[in-house]
Structure 1
Amino acid sequence: MLMWVAAVIAAITSAGLAPPAADPLTVSVETADADRFAAVFDSANGRPTAEQLQHGYLDPGSYGVRVFTPDRIIDAYHLAEAVAKRPDFYARAINVCLPVVKGTTAELRATYLAFRGLFPELPLPRFYLVVGADNSGGTAGPGAQVLGLETLCGLADTPEKLREIVRGFYAHETVHTFQSAAGMEELDDGLLSSVLVEGAADFIATLVTGRQIDPARATWAAPREAELWQQFEADLATTRNMKWSARKPGTPAAESFNRWIGNYGSAPKGWPTEVGYWMGQRIWQRWYDRQPDKRAAMREMVALTDPAGVFAQGRFQDALPAK
């Protein structure tokens, strides 16, 4: 077995609390957490207190809730405050969108079957649907992908659109589970690695689903690629050798990071959310086109052993003279 595959599997299985791997033929949409939130919400007439959310939703929550809590749900008080500000928004998520997501098991299985073809040796994650503070559509942890119902619901104005969005998230977050197990998250050495992590997830998700993950963002960005690259390279210089975790709000480095990544709800004026995902996808596309061994290229997208090398081959050459 290839060394990188062995390392990924070992990392997942040694996680201790990680759930068992999913079978693409029998995997299902696990919505017990969202159902539990809905029960608390309804019993409180749309105004649950922090105590009610703690005891009725968070305390009995699944592994998915535990993955989603840090930096997203945060705690019961933060969640209660978010719900109190927009009770109708959460009511729509429960009453309109939850039944739609429950009906996407076929999309989840089709996505996982495609991943089995790309990465036959890797264990596939369990899927959990939770409710958060409307600050994240999804994340991944060892052996699991977790989606935030209310945020996904807010992105879709029709059931068909929601199904498309959810399938894109199924694919994107699955890639993140592979990356996390391979140690990709430990890179944390600047804007470039963050963009490559997200860009790889979108590139592979597009390959798996057969469609662009965010068509509106791609449509906006494509004709602006040259000018975006000039800004991107300037921001790379500003953030070089600075860890994501060391950003200080209000500094030029933080502004450079947030222009591309982590700006859900706060993108630059006139920009779509998180254009860095598209930029990373474009870097990987140009790099991928140069690789003779496409299977090995897929493994590099998960492991990211040479960010500088990927950037050198995937750079938009029309933006600036080659360095």
Structure 2
Amino acid sequence: MYLSYVFIYLVLLLLPGSASAQASQIQLAKPTIFTQDITNFWQAYDSVRATPDTARQRQLVQRLYLDRATPGLRDFAKSQEFRARSYVRAVNRYPRFWASVRPATLAVSESVSQIKQVLSRFQQLYPSYKPVEVFFTIGALNSGGTVKGQRVLIGTEIAAATAVTDATELGTWLQGVFKNHANGVTELVAHEAVHTQQPDGDAELDGKTDLLGYCLQEGAADFIAELLLAKPYTTPYLTYGRQYERTLWQEFEPVLSSPDASQWLYNGDQAQAQHRPADLGYFIGYAICRAYYQQARNKRQAVADIIELRHDFTAPHEFLAKSGYAARWQ
């Protein structure tokens, strides 16, 4: 199945008149990736650790990190409500975590070339692609990644952490996230970059869609990321979903019009209690997008349809019907 995705992707790039052929005639926008916030954070961190005065610590974070913020960090701090006191509290509470994750955050620069290649492929695969800026920042353990307009905002302290990161001081949810990190920062950027192209990818959807809409917004980002990476997108919820797909659909179908997404998305602590992966709604959305792509004769148009889908109360249900996904399980 995955080889077929890669084969179709490569065929698309080699077709005469394809976006790849067109790219040889036009200059692609060069992806822009910023890592300066990581450097600035660790300078602030070292200064904070050198003094026990919390008031002084807040001043140092503000002056050495937040006042020197890139536009991406400013967007990220605003969306997540980061303040100097947020960082001081996190630094003082979790010293083992910060010491452990530091090398992984500094190693992000090694992925920049690969990320640029993925974003260049995006321009080839999707002619309506709008250039993306990627900002690797350090947050206060709130978010691993989000978007604002055409900016991808990465919380590198979460995104770069792995199973070997010391998370013993943290809550069970983050411990589970780090333990199950199967993808790296390149895969995360690919996912978030898709959101920058969606008509409502950075919008707050509460009250504007139903469970199906939420799941398609996230699942589309996983499916398109898989095409961009030309390899399977691997997460615990995708692995579990592929194994128990029929059962999950039977659970999901009766509630797909519900306004409540809490059983299917962003439910880490709850899912642990149920002994199965969190965010299984991502898999449902991914599987529907995969089905839509598989049945489409024009694969390039299918990519555009998936990315440009509006997540309201109507379009997702029409998309589901066209995909033929539900009919598979009848």
TM range (shorter): 0.7 to 0.9
Give the Å deviation of 1:50: 3.6
Q: Would you say 1:56 and 2:27 are equivalent positions?
A: no
Q: Is the 8 A contact 2:45 2:91 kept in 1?
A: no
CA drift at 1:268? 4.5
The 1:234–1:52 alpha-carbon spacing in structure 2 relative to 1, beyond 3 Å, is farther
Matched, 1:226 2:246: yes
Match of 2:283 in 1: 278
Q: Give the 5 Å matches for 1:41-190.
A: 41-45=45-49, 49-94=57-102, 96-157=103-164, 164-179=183-198, 182-184=199-201, 185=203, 188-190=208-210
Work out the CA distance in 1 between the residues paired with 2:28 and 2:115. Answer: 8
CA distance in 2, matches of 1:277, 1:71: 22
In structure 2, how many angstroms separate the alpha carbons of the residues matched to 1:316 and 1:51? 56
Task: Return the offset for 1:163.
Answer: 10
Deviation at 1:65, TM superposition (A): 1.0
Among 197, 200, 210, the alignment partner of 2:217 is: 197
In structure 2, the residue matched to 1:259 is 263
2-structure distance, mates of 1:218, 1:117: 26
Structure 1 vs Structure 2 CA RMSD:
2.7
Judge which range, 131-140 or 85-94, deviates more. 85-94
Secondary structure of 1:202's counterpart equals helix
What corresponds to 2:307 in structure 1?
302
The answer as to whether partners of 1:135 and 1:264 remain within 8 angstroms in 2 is no
Q: Which residue of 2 aligns with 1:20?
A: none
What do the CA deviations read for 1:141-179 (whole angstroms, capped 9, x no partner)? 122111111102323549xx9895111012111111111
2:193 corresponds to which letter in structure 1? T
CA distance in 2, matches of 1:177, 1:223: 30
Q: More displaced, 197-206 or 283-292?
A: 283-292
- 1:223, distance to aligned residue in structure 2 (A): 1.9
Q: Distance in 1 between matches of 2:195 and 2:221?
A: 6
Mapped partners of 1:238, 1:121: distance in 2: 32
Q: Any conservation in 2 of the 1:287–1:313 contact (CA below 8 Å)? A: yes
Does the 8 Å contact 1:130/1:149 carry over to 2? Answer: yes
Once residues 268 and 39 of structure 2 are traced to their aligned partners in structure 1, the CA distance between those partners, rounded to angstroms, is 25
Tell me the amino acid that sits aligned with residue 176 of structure 1.
H
2:38·2:106 contact (CA, 8 Å) conserved in 1? no
CA distance in 1, matches of 2:83, 2:229: 34
- Tell me: CA distance 1:130–1:219, structure 2 relative to 1, closer, same or farther (3 Å): same
Please say if 1:37 is aligned against 2:44.
no
Q: Percent identity?
A: 28
Q: Is the 8 A contact 1:134 1:151 kept in 2?
A: yes
Contiguous gaps of at least 5 residues in structure 1: 1-22, 240-252
Task: Please list every run of 5 or more consecutive structure 2 residues that lacks an aligned counterpart in the other structure.
Answer: 1-26, 166-179
TM-score after normalising by structure 1: 0.76
Q: Which 4+ residue blocks in structure 1 deviate beyond 4 angstroms?
A: 23-26, 161-164
Q: Deviations over 1:208-258 (max 9, x none)?
A: 10222224332222221122122222432432xxxxxxxxxxxxx3xxx12
**Offset of 1:277 from its aligned partner?**
1.3
* Maintained 8 Å contact 2:38/2:138: yes
For normalisation by structure 2, the TM-score amounts to 0.75
